[in-house]
Amino acid sequence: MIWLVLACTNSGDDVDSQVDEGLDTQDTETVDTAPPERPSFANPQRAEDQNPAEGVFELTLSAAPQSFVVAGQEVQGYAYNGQNPGPLIQVERGDTLTATLENGLDTASTIHWHGASVPFEMDGVPWMMDPVQAGTSKTYSFELNEPITGWYHPHFDTERQVDLGLYGVLLVKDPAWPVAEHELVLLADSWGEAPEEGHHAGFVFQENTWTVNGLESPVLDVQSGDSVVAHILNVSNMGYLSLSAEGMRVIGGEQGLLPAPTSPERLVLGPGDRAIVEFSPSSQEIELLTHPYSVAGEIQVGEPVSILGIHPSGSESAHPGLEWPFAAAAPSPDPGGTAVRYVFQGDEQTGEWRINGEAFPDVTIATLPEGEPAVIEVRNLSATEHPFHLHGMSFEVLSVDGVPPDQRTIEDTVNIGIRQTQRLLIPADNVGDWMAHCHILPHAEGGMMTVLRVE
């Protein structure tokens, strides 16, 4: 949920306006950028399994209008099972998920399982299939064979319905993974000024206000020496996270563990993107900061804001880090050839966002034969970044502007920088018509979506 963050990060005068609005802008290292009274961190409420059978997780997700409080303001939105965020679905790899959407909205909806490789009929797109009409229901059922930090959201009237609060986490865990003392799930959403119309009308949030699980800058109290693992998901319509924290290690991406952990200076997560990180608090407080970020590539000078505090008590030394079963792997060699080319173009002025000059749904369908791995080349010719998301299959990043990544990188959503070209290897092993689009939802709505067919 975001309105002005893109505009304000592009405006170049956001520092002043933040100061004017009284945003606390203190020393970035000691960090107390949040309001004086910080709420306690809480994970989204976990869904209960309605099916006693081993290996099957069953639940009902009732979508309905709901009012809830976000960052201290009451908002008229939508929710699954009355919760914002929706229920946390946590299963183990190999389990079958059976989820029934009961549509109690006054409009059609669907559920898309972002990051899961599901059969086409279960993908929740209103393409060759009708959406779930108001007052009706649909059951989605599929196996989850890969560990993912995934999420679910409507894929009909998407920008509006996700913005109103329809989203939740789908966590598929590998039983071989170690268990942390604190395992956190952070759904990060951003807020700006309300638009003229819509249910948010009249609500004005501070620019670059982020919430996690609906809480503004919550605090988790831990013991020093505890292990803390966090799944971070950016469910914002268009806001980018640019994260840093003392001692933060990135151990996983959206599709399970990384081949080896990394410690980037900034962890950038665009809309739809996710990561798994590990913290090792000793006696020092840790603040997870998000820094101002410009999708137009401008230098940002604003102050970071804290989206989570981890406050230890006790004097144990830091946890050495859990024993994750990392499997070091180099990137696959580029097989050469290009099966599909996607050129991203468009601009803020017109709001017309295009792939290969076409606007969804009037698109040319690229077709790939099943079972033959293929290279997609994505080139961004616009003046702003785009998080590219593919349904149905994860892909490997072969190269960014000709340079292979440091280690094997498996994604379903990847940020394409300005003027950048990325070569992506897809297995083409899932038959169906798969949406390929920008996950900045106003861009997708503005046409930046196409269809990749595997047959």
Residue 438 binds which one of ligand C2O, Cu ion, none, with CB within 5 to 8 A depending on kind? Cu ion
In whole angstroms, the minimum distance from the beta carbon of 73 to ligand C2O comes to 26
Question: Binder to ligand C2O among 199, 274, 437, 443 (CB under 6 A)?
Answer: 437
- Using CA atoms, how far apart are residues 329 and 45, in angstroms rounded to an integer? 35
- The amino acid at residue 92 is E
Q: What burial class does residue 343 get, using C-beta atoms within 10 Å of its C-beta: 0-12 exposed, 13-18 middle, 19+ buried?
A: middle
Residue with tokens 């059969």: 119
- With contacts defined by CB under 6 A, name the span among 18-26, 89-97, 193-201, 431-439 that binds ligand C2O: 431-439
Choose among ligand C2O, Cu ion, none what residue 291 binds, the Cβ cut-off being 5 to 8 Å by kind.
Answer: none
- Asked if 112 is part of the footprint of ligand C2O (rule: CB under 6 A), the reply reads yes
- Binding to ligand C2O, residues 336-375 (CB under 6 A): none
Nearer to ligand C2O by Cβ, of 112 and 443: the residue is 112
Q: Does 169 bind ligand C2O (CB under 6 A)?
A: no
Q: What are phi and psi of 159, to 5 degrees?
A: -55, -45
- Of the pair 173, 391, the CB lying nearest Cu ion is at 391
Residue-level length of the chain: 455
Q: Are 340 and 405 in contact (CB under 8 A)?
A: no
Q: Which stretch binds ligand C2O (CB under 6 A): 128-136, 300-308, 311-319, 432-440?
A: 432-440
Cβ contact 47:185 at 8 Å: no
Q: What is the DSSP letter of 174?
A: -
Closest distance between ligand C2O and the C-beta of residue 17, in Å? 31
Largest CA distance in the chain: 62
With CB cut-offs between 5 and 8 Å by kind, which of Cu ion, ligand C2O, none does residue 272 bind?
A: ligand C2O
Distance CA 413, CA 290 (A): 20
Shorter beta-carbon distance to Cu ion: residue 4 or 454: 4
Instruction: Give residues with Cβ within 8 angstroms of 341, minimum separation 6.
Output: 356, 376, 377, 379
Judged by CB under 6 A, the stretch of 75-83, 277-285, 339-347, 433-441 that binds ligand C2O is 433-441
Identity of the amino acid at 379 = R
* Cα 8 to Cα 294: distance, rounded to the nearest angstrom: 9
Candidate residues 272, 304, 346, 392; the one interacting with ligand C2O per rule CB under 6 A: 272
Binding residue (CB under 6 A) for ligand C2O from 114, 138, 231, 443: 114
Which positions lie near ligand C2O, rule CB under 6 A?
112, 114, 153, 155, 272, 389, 391, 435, 437, 439
